[in-house]
Amino acid sequence: MSKLEHKESCPIQGENINDWSRNDICSCSNFQEWLPHIAKDIFWFNIQDVGSYQGSIYAIGTFEKQFLIYEGYYGSCSGCGAWGEGGEPESQEEVLKSCTLLKTKEDAIRHLLKLDRWDKPDTDVMLKALDEVESFLK
């Protein structure tokens, strides 16, 4: 199973990023570490950062026995969602607002294949992650 684990070395504690220093936020400086840290009740299988200084984040997981597809983004400048300046979700509830929950693998596949942005995720990898979610939920 390929569940992504939060790295215990990440020093961030608490629920409000305004209480953390910039160094704390940057020490969990990618979404592969951040999403499992901030949304601990979601079982993550694949998280993709599609971009560089700005871009989109896509993820596959499961929450409350449903398939989950996360779609997020980040900007490149102060005031436009830059990482460490408010571009990252601050709570599990905020993460869930950017998720689509689906009851069946077929519905999840349809949703995934409809993602139509210039910075698309690697859908082959995400389809494999949906297979893993399906096996996990059985």
Strand, coil or helix: 102: strand
**Three-state SS string across 24-38, please?**
HHHHCCCHHHHHHHH
Taking the C-alpha atoms of residue 45 and residue 5, their distance in angstroms, rounded to an integer, is 10
pLDDT, position 102:
97
pLDDT at 18 over 70: no
What is the four-CA torsion angle of 124, 32, 65, 15, rounded to 10 degrees? -160
d(CA 135, CA 26): 34
Q: What is the CA radius of gyration of the chain?
A: 15
pTM (two decimals): 0.76
- The token duo for 89 is 């979700």
Which of 61, 41, 40, 58 shows the shortest CA–CA distance to 137? 61
Average pLDDT, the chain: 77
DSSP 42-103: SEEEEEEEEESSSEEEEEEEEETTEEEEEEEEEBSSTTTTBTTTT-S--SHHHHHHTEEEES
Each residue's pLDDT tens digit, 81-101: 655 666 678 889 999 999 999
State the DSSP code for 75.
B
User: Each residue of 35-73: pLDDT tens digit?
Assistant: 888 899 999 999 998 877 777 889 999 999 999 999 988
